[in-house]
Structures are given as structure tokens and as C-alpha cells.
Amino acid sequence: MAAEIDNFKGRYNPLRDEKDTINAWANEEFQRALRLANHSPKPCDEKALFLSLKRSFKNHYTDRFTRKLYKGKGLAIRKIPFSHSIYRDFDGKDSFIIGIMGKIYDSASPIVNYNGHKIGTDKFEHFFGRGRAYYDIIHNKGKSVTDALQYGLSSEHNILGAVMTGIMSYADLAANFRGLFFWNHILMKYQDPLELQKPSGPYATCANGKWLQSMPIDFSIYVDDSWDEAINCSKFRTKAIADKVEKIQLYYESLDPGHKYTCPVLPEEAIGLHTKFGEYAPMIFNLGPVFLE
């Protein structure tokens, strides 16, 4: 089920910052992964370490951390059912996943406030899962950063994005890219592709043949407004779908004329973030247009 979210409806309502809770959950899970990796008969086995971490940080179907985020228990969350969201007018022709299945199963991810950034919890699944795929493409297969980004772009454009859901999420692509940094920071063996923040890590170091956590994980160096679909604008498969979404966004504005609900809601912030990604910006951040055709 797709986890596309409406990051427009209710976005100006207060939402408690959950940075400390989410960081704490991540560090608990990281410790658990290290203990599992240390069961390997080979001292400080990197393969065992990354296998254990992939089991801990991947998606809400296979690990505890992202499952907890998806469920939102204990977190202040905002969850907008598809039937009340900017996608409410989608039908089966627009998107079988959202227009039919999504409305039946109400599979939209909740939104949390992480360090002032209102993001869907699904972004952490992209951060871990696709971020790891990017890492493998670059550091295990010897391909370029551009190759990894093109892989992500193609996925969002095709079966994992616009083809099935009608939506191509650039916020997902931004989370993917930042996940590349996270996986590199586990052992800090390589240079980051861009200096987007102070490098962190290594998170794990070898001591007496065992993996130890050498510094706490703090996602605030990775999470920014590029993970927010209301600032990093999605594209839609057709102009007709984009028009349906804009109609609802304008309706939100009519109810709350003091705030902007069409994308990007913070134009200057969007331009700054686009610039920040440098040569890779076209594959990570969308300032427009909002449809593919």
C-alpha cells in the first residue's frame, strides 16, 4: 500500500516536536543491531554489521523502528485519511493504489514534527531503504552518485511512483539522498558527495573485536524541509491529476486565507534548498512544473 501523505491540510496547526523521542528510539535500535552483529564468529564483521542494521532500519514491514514510526503510538502525529486529503478526488483511472485501495485501507502515513520539519514517517523508510540502495550502487558497485540518483528518479517515475500512485514524490527522493549520507556515516569510510552539513560518525567502531556505538545518532543533520511535500513539490502523472490536487489546495486556502496551501508554501525556502543540492538538484528537488505530461 502506498504511503503518500497530505502535508497541506492542517499544516499550520501546532504539532509537538518529536525529535528527542525519535532519536532515542533509533539509538535503542542501533544498540540492538550492534549486539546482534557481535554474535558473528568473525571479529568486527562489517558484513554482519550492515546486515543487522538493514534488519533494524529498512521499512515498516520488516523492522521495529520504522514500524513504530508508522504506527505513531506515543508520538504527536497528524494523520489525514485519503478520503479527506488533497487526493480525495482521485479515482481508479488516476491511481488504482490511491483512488481505490488507499481509500479502502487508509494507508497514508502519519505526519510528525521532527525538529521543526513536518514530514511523513514514510520518509524514514526512504531514508533507510533507498539510502542503502544508493550506498550499494556507489560504494559496492562502483557507480557514480548520478547513477544512484537516476535509479531513484526512475523508480519514482515508474512502478514505485507515478505509474502506480499517480504521484512522483521529490520529498521521497530527498530522503533517499540523505540516507546515502547516513549509511556512509556508519563507519565513515568515504567522503560525502556534498557538504550539506557537518559530517557525522562513525557511529560504530571496533574495540576488542566487538562493535561499539561511538556516538549517538541524531537525525537532525539529515532532516530538512526537502523532506516536506509542501515545500519540495511532487509531480503528478497528468495535468488532470495535478488540477484535482490544486483544486483542493485552493479550497484549503479559501478556508484559511492567511496561509499558503499551494506548493511551495515557502517559495524562498524552496529556492534555497534547491540551490543547496548543487548539480544534483534536478534529481532531488522540484520547483516546478507539477505534472509530467
Question: Each residue of 274-290: pLDDT tens digit?
Answer: 999 999 999 999 998 78
CA dihedral 27, 28, 34, 35 (to 10 degrees): 160
Strands 210-213 vs 204-207: parallel, antiparallel or unpaired: antiparallel
3-state secondary structure of 119: strand
Computed over every residue of the chain, the mean pLDDT equals: 91
Which of the pair, 148 or 195, is modelled with greater confidence? 148
Q: The C-alpha cell of 134 is what?
A: 544508493
Instruction: State residue 160's pLDDT score.
Output: 59
Place of cell 562513525: 202
83 pLDDT higher than 90: no
pLDDT at 21: 97
Largest separation between any pair of C-alpha atoms in the chain: 64
Segment 159-177 mean pLDDT: 83
pLDDT at 123: 95
Flag whether pLDDT at 153 surpasses 80.
Answer: yes
pLDDT at 166: 82
**Grid coordinates standing for 185?**
556515516
**Bigger pLDDT: 178 or 160?**
178
Q: Which of 146, 122, 123, 118 is nearest to 134 (CA)?
A: 146
Query: Does residue 292 surpass a pLDDT of 90?
Result: no
Task: Give the three-state DSSP class for 192.
Answer: coil
Query: Which of 100-104, 169-173, 199-203, 268-272 is predicted with the least confidence, judged by mean pLDDT?
Result: 100-104
Q: Tens digits of per-residue pLDDT, 33-74?
A: 999 999 999 999 999 999 999 999 988 777 889 989 988 889
Answer whether residue 1 shows pLDDT above 50. no
Out of 30-34, 134-138, 162-166, least confident range: 162-166
Residue 162's pLDDT is: 64
pLDDT of residue 5: 87
- For residue 265, the model assigns a pLDDT of 96
Concatenating the DSSP letter of every residue in 158-227 gives TTTTHHHHSEE-HHHHHHHHHHHHHHHHTTT-S--SS-SS-----SEEEETTEEEE-S---GGGT--GGG
Alpha carbon distance 182, 166 (integer Å): 29
Q: What is the pLDDT of residues 212-247, one digit of tens each?
A: 999 999 999 999 999 999 999 999 989 999 999 999
pLDDT at 2 over 60: no
Categorize the per-residue pLDDT at 259 as very low, low, confident or very high, splitting at 50, 70 and 90.
Answer: very high
* DSSP letter for each residue of 233-284: T-EESSHHHHHHHHHHHHHHHHH-TTS--SSPSSHHHHHHHHHHTGGGGGGT
By C-alpha distance, which of 122, 178, 120 is closest to 149?
A: 178
